[in-house]
Amino acid sequence: MSEPLSKTRLRLWLRLLKTTHGIEAELRRRLRERHGTTLPRFDVLAALARFPDGLRMSELSDLLRVSNGNVTGIVDRLSEDGLAERIAVPGDRRATRARLTEAGRAAFADLAAAHEAWIDELLEGVDADAAEAMTRLLKGAATQGGRAHAQ
């Protein structure tokens, strides 16, 4: 008698977690050791790189699913390093928009290239067909409230 599908799916979930945590730990190590930066800082740079006009701090924290305080601290440090700037939002004296400077865009381009190469290296055992198949399968596997949805 074979085991229930729920047990097989549970093992899959645990394997996904273990794999994700292992890759994330290696990325954190490489960012720290090779570039003197952190994964949260990389994530903020990546988010801002996708929005050349910048994002309000609340939009940035929503996008990254972290607190405003966490984002504010990272943006403050990026600003001190000349990689980001804050711009006043017209009509709202309390709000500011964060965006990358030219130096920030260049720094992120270097980090993004390294990040992509590291992911490629860490997943070198997965060929193109398998990567595409896994991506399709995982898009259908995410559930919310019992309904499958694609990310």
Write out pLDDT tens, residues 51-87.
Answer: 999 999 999 999 999 998 899 999 999 999 999 999 9
Which pLDDT score, from 0 to 100, does residue 151 have? 44
Which pLDDT score, from 0 to 100, does residue 44 have? 97
| In a domain? residue 148 | no
Structural domains counted in the chain? 1
Structure letter (DSSP) for residue 123: T
CA-atom Rg of the chain in angstroms: 19
Q: Which residues of 31-67 are buried (b: 16+ CB within 10 A; e: fewer)?
A: beeeeebebbbbbbbebbbeeeebbebebbbebbeee
- Could you give the residue ranges of the DSSP H alpha helices within 3-101? 5-35, 39-49, 57-64, 68-80
Which pLDDT score, from 0 to 100, does residue 13 have? 93
| In a domain? residue 117 | yes
Dihedral of CA atoms 97, 102, 108, 114 in degrees, nearest 10, equals 170
Look up the domain containing 42 and give its range.
Answer: 37-122
